[in-house]
């Protein structure tokens, strides 16, 4: 079955990876639109130029993109644009893979879930680290009880500031915040996958703008988020844009999970081949492509579910789904409010 997959915007840095992977899939037709790309103050190419670089057909407007009749839409716009594009996809019965975070505001996220549920379309969130073999093994060990009762998790997500390639990441209105929004959600999702349905009850956060003062950045560039869950779990997430601009890799993610029987730590992006070349230090990651695993999961679910029917839930809802996206958005929203007030925020 050939699927028509629309790529809505090249604003997100992951859009290029998705375009590259989709263009190589034999049973997928791709069409991209990036109407805001020409006016974006970014160093990297956008719009038709980027589509041509990946060999992907391109149209100038979202009207043309949705008139094409896509089976699925991948939303990779600025965070503040997610709601409009997801709701538009749902209105034409297209299944959706939406970049993280789900939205910049909780009310928008709730509206997006409601629109997709009413239309009977899939809403999946782009959390590719869920598909890392080390995380899948960790989750299997937790679910099998090998760590005993899990009571503490320490997550880190530290990377480069995406300032030059995509300046909207440091625009509080377009992104919803800075490093806290960009990086906390990944770890919050991984923790969510280990909790067995536990809910976050209290969030405390502290943030600062110490890093990248030379760039005039007005959003947070580092900090800590602490989350209490109703099953007694305590989780802490260290987020930052602390990797130097000239670093050999974008950054990394780690997760240390401690239970009554022991502790396990994973770093899904650590395996690599290192060295130097004429430009300096080299970091070549090894292992499977997590974006590809995520896209395969999404497209398999689209094929299984078939055409959307309003009021009928899709046959397959792949994880991480829209509900996970909303739970992690609520954590980030609470963290923003806590950092601003200096007080813990109850959920």
pLDDT of residue 37: 87
- List, for residues 157-181, the tens digit of each pLDDT value: 999 999 888 999 999 999 999 999 9
- List, for residues 206-235, the tens digit of each pLDDT value: 999 999 999 999 999 999 999 999 999 999
The mean of the pLDDT values for the chain is 95
d(CA 124, CA 55): 25
* Burial status of residue 244 (CB atoms within 10 A of its CB: 0-12, 13-18, 19 or more): exposed
Mean per-residue pLDDT, 2-13: 96
CB 5 within 8 A of CB 76: no
Mean per-residue pLDDT, 41-57: 90
CB 199 within 8 A of CB 342: no
Apex CA 74: angle with CA 309 and CA 33, to 5°? 115
pLDDT above 80 for 44: no
C-alpha torsion angle, residues 10, 12, 15, 17 (rounded to 10): 140
Confidence of residue 45 (pLDDT cuts 50, 70, 90): confident
pLDDT of residue 5: 98
Contact partners, residue 111, CB within 8 Å, separation at least 6: 83, 87
Number of Cβ within a 10 Å radius of residue 49: 14
CB 72 within 8 A of CB 65: no
d(CA 338, CA 347): 11
How big is the chain, counted in residues? 347
- List, for residues 298-323, the tens digit of each pLDDT value: 999 999 999 999 999 999 999 999 99
pLDDT above 80 for 43: no
- List, for residues 175-203, the tens digit of each pLDDT value: 999 999 999 999 999 999 999 889 999 99
Q: Is the peptide bond before 276 cis (omega within 30 degrees of 0)?
A: no
Confidence of residue 272 (pLDDT cuts 50, 70, 90): confident
Long-range contacts of 278-283 (CB under 8 A, 24+ apart): 280/246, 280/248, 281/247, 281/248, 282/248, 283/248, 283/249
């Amino acid at each position: 079955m050939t699927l028509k997959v629309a790529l809505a915007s090249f604003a997100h840095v992951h859009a290029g990876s998705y375009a590259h992977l989709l263009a190589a899939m034999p049973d997928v037709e791709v069409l991209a639109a990036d109407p805001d790309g020409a006016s974006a103050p970014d160093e990297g190419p956008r719009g038709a130029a980027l589509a041509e670089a990946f060999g992907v057909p391109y149209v100038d407007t979202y009207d043309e993109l949705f008139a094409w009749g896509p089976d699925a839409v991948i939303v990779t716009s600025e965070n503040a644009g997610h709601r409009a594009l997801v709701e538009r996809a749902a209105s034409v019965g297209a299944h959706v893979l939406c970049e993280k975070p789900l939205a910049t505001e909780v009310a928008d996220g709730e509206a997006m879930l409601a629109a997709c549920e009413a239309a009977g379309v899939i809403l999946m969130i782009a959390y590719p680290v869920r598909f890392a073999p080390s995380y899948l093994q960790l989750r299997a060990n937790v679910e099998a009880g090998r760590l005993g009762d899990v009571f503490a998790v320490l997550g880190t997500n530290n990377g480069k500031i995406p300032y030059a390639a995509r300046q909207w990441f440091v625009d509080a209105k377009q992104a919803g915040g800075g490093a806290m929004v960009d990086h906390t959600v990944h770890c919050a999702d991984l923790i969510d996958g280990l909790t067995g349905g536990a809910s976050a009850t209290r969030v405390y956060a502290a943030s600062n703008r110490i890093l990248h003062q030379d760039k005039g950045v007005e959003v947070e560039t580092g900090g800590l988020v602490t989350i209490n869950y109703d099953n007694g779990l305590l989780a802490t997430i260290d987020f930052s844009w602390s990797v130097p601009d000239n670093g050999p890799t974008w950054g990394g993610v780690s997760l240390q999970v401690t239970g009554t029987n022991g502790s396990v730590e994973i770093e899904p992006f650590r395996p690599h081949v290192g060295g130097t070349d004429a430009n300096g230090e080299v970091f070549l990651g090894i292992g499977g492509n997590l974006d590809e695993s995520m896209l395969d999961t999404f497209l398999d679910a689209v094929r299984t579910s078939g055409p959307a029917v309003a009021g009928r839930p899709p046959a397959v809802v792949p994880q991480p789904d829209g509900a996970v996206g909303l739970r992690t958005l609520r954590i980030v929203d609470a963290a923003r409010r806590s950092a601003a007030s200096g007080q813990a925020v109850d959920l």
